[in-house]
Amino acid sequence: MNHRHLNSGVGWSKAAIDSALERGSLAEWRELFDDAKRDRELAAKVLDVARQHRMPGVWPLVAHMVKLDWPLMDQWERELVDGKLPE
């Protein structure tokens, strides 16, 4: 994704996630959720950003999409230790 908040090779910052959720194309959403499917830390970050998002309807949609791939995410979020998910 060529994005002002996303530097190649660095990964998804919270600003990049927020921007993709707010202004991203369908292709950018796919890229974000494909990456989140492979990285539970990113999935947790996507949930965190979506939970705080200003656009109505974003949180329930994102929560559903992430939890399809990470059904234990609710449990992991309750077990967060110093911002890290359990192994």
Please state which of the ranges 10-14, 45-49, 76-80, 81-85 shows the lowest mean pLDDT: 81-85
**Overall size of the chain counted in residues:** 87
- Residue 82 is which amino acid? D
Cα distances from 85 to residues 6, 43, 52, 57, 81, in angstroms, run 23, 11, 19, 26, 7
| Residue ranges of domains in the chain | 14-78
- List Cβ<8 Å contacts ≥24 apart for 22-29: 22/53, 22/54, 22/55, 22/58, 28/1, 28/3
Query: Given this model, what pLDDT does residue 18 score?
Result: 92
Would you say residue 60 has pLDDT above 50?
yes
pLDDT tens, 1-40?
455 555 545 689 999 999 999 989 999 999 999 999 999 8
